[in-house]
Amino acid sequence: MNIAIDIDGTITKNPKLFLNLMLKWKFGGNEVVLLTGNGDGTMTRKARLIQLRGLGIPEYAYHNLVIAEGDGELLVAKEKARILNILSTDIFIDDNFDNIAEAKKRNPNLLVFEPH
């Protein structure tokens, strides 16, 4: 399975839980991608990697870090949905309703979870 997980508001809310899940999924044979937005252009790839290490998420816990660029949240949501489609993602975990709604609209078979 291909699994994509958001960072801000998702992994950041419970990094230990997501680290455990990511390791189980990855070493269980699933593809784990971190898919995060950069709507205001301030979070570079390097900054995201530093953020993840600060949360206790090492690079070996996932396969790839993908950053959805866009000028504002709506464009980021559309870009995330486009990327999910390209990656043939089966499961998407994100705390942002706009991201989830856009992903479901473009990928009706996608299973989405919104952590609370």
Neighbouring CB atoms inside 10 A of 100's CB total: 21
Model confidence at 69, in pLDDT bands (50, 70, 90)?
A: confident
What's the confidence (pLDDT) of residue 76?
Answer: 85
Residue 75 Cα to chain centre, angstroms = 16
| Rounded Cα gap, residues 63 and 99, in angstroms | 21
DSSP 42: -
pLDDT at 53 over 70: yes
9-35 pLDDT, tens digit per residue, is 999 999 999 999 999 999 999 999 999
Domain housing 21: 2-113
What's the confidence (pLDDT) of residue 39?
Answer: 67
pLDDT at 111 over 70: yes
Whichever domain contains 59, its CATH number is 3.40.50.1000
Residues 6+ apart with CB under 8 A from 76: 37, 38, 39, 68, 69, 70, 99
Amino acid at 46: K
- This prediction has a pTM of 0.93
What's the confidence (pLDDT) of residue 72?
Answer: 62
What's the confidence (pLDDT) of residue 38?
Answer: 81
Number of domain units in the chain: 1
Tokens encoding 58: 């090492």
